[in-house]
Amino acid sequence: MAFRAGLRSMSTATRSSLKIGLLPADGIGHEVIPAARDAILALGSTIPKPEFISLNAGFEYFTKKGVALPEESIDVLKNECDCALFGAVSSPSKKVVGYSSPIVALRKILDLYANIRPVVSVAPTPGEKPSVDLVVVRENTECLYVKQEEITPGPNGREARATRLITERASRRIGTMAFDIALNRPRKLLTIIHKSNVLSITDGLFRETVRAVPANAEPAGKYDEVTIAEQLVDSAVYKLFRDPQEFDVMVAPNLYGDILSDAAAALVGSLGLIPSINTGDSFVMGEPVHGSAPDIAGKGIANPLASIRSAALMLRQLGYSDGANRIDKAVDEVIREGRVLTPDLGGSSKTQEVTDEVLKRI
């Protein structure tokens, strides 16, 4: 995976240890988070000694305890952990009284306002330019994901409404994050994704606020090298499949970013390859993009590579680029060789077999 530049590192103050919260949550999260943990352990002295803290969250926990995100997990993350890894969450398609997604809650509680999802293909030959190399920067706290919905009676039967929230503050923060990432990548191209031709107020505010980031940057001229482009979200999906090389960094409101990054995964073969981090200014949480995959949970065939890559992204955000690069290189080699892969990539190997192959190369 060639995502070598773009993230702005958090403080790298000297640590004797690195406390990492582990929240496998639901489904295959219990199978892939241990793989990420083992990849971090394989780095040895490259990073401060990792200390892992297992924490509860998820729909499965909710069915047993009546709460999806216990206060204890929140307190430990806030007061004891330097970072965290989240596995996957099951989201029931019908409303379940008392349940709400713990990952959505954590993003708000910890102010993890940016979800950064690099989508990079593995070139056949080391050093060769990948055919797909883009980053989706997704606003993480607003849009329709504020989950303010209601059903009321009406002349045509029940009427369902949802509130879509876009604020100037959130748009400016995610825009600044996206400009920073674009500035530190070779192409320095930022595409703003919106639908302001229809949603002129909400998407209009997002578009205008992001475009205004360079004018308010300090020092003045900081982003002069970044080229700004725009794309309507529907045509962006079309172009993503027809010509992914057109994109470098894409910044989008919550819902659009979610859809675009999942769609982009098809360009590189599987959701099981796409990592992400949820990050703010003082905390970072790695999270593979794939879901809880209940159809394969417990079968030992889940792809651990997205989780392992998410651990690398998390470490890079914390300033441990050497360790992150070692993990990325090992994953690239396993994919390039193609001998030990899970079924989603056309192979027949088990989760642990793929994990072991990566660990050997780290």
Q: Which pLDDT does position 128 carry in this prediction?
A: 86
**Contact (Cβ atoms closer than 8 angstroms) between residue 134 and residue 111:** no
Active site residues: 145, 195, 234, 258, 262
pTM: 0.92
**Mind listing the pLDDT tens digit for each residue in 202-226?**
999 999 999 999 999 999 999 999 9
Task: Say if residue 361 is exposed, middle or buried (CB neighbours under 10 Å; 0-12, 13-18, 19+).
Answer: middle
> Within the chain, which residues score under 50 in pLDDT?
1-5
**Residue 10: its pLDDT value, please?**
67
CATH tag, 1-121+271-362: 3.40.718.10
pLDDT of residue 3: 45
Domain boundaries, the chain: 1-121+271-362, 144-149+162-267
Nearest CA among 332, 344, 342 for reference residue 3: 332
* Two tokens, residue 118: 């690099």
In sequence order, which residues have a C-beta less than 8 Å from that of residue 183 and are 6 or more positions away?
Answer: 222, 223, 225, 226
> Could you give the CA distance from residue 195 to residue 259 in angstroms, rounded to a whole number?
14
What pLDDT sits at residue 15? 74
What fold does the segment set 144-149+162-267 form as a domain?
Rossmann fold (3.40.50)
In angstroms, the CA 356 to CA 307 distance is 14
Cβ count near 15 (within 10 Å) = 13
Rounded Cα gap, residues 259 and 115, in angstroms: 13
| Tens-digit pLDDT profile for residues 43-68 | 999 999 999 999 999 999 999 999 99
- Residue-wise pLDDT for 263-298, tens only, equals 998 999 888 899 999 999 999 999 999 989 999 999
pLDDT at 125: 85
**In degrees rounded to 5, what are phi and psi of residue 357?**
-65, -40
What pLDDT, on a 0 to 100 scale, did the predictor assign at position 4?
44
SS3 140: coil
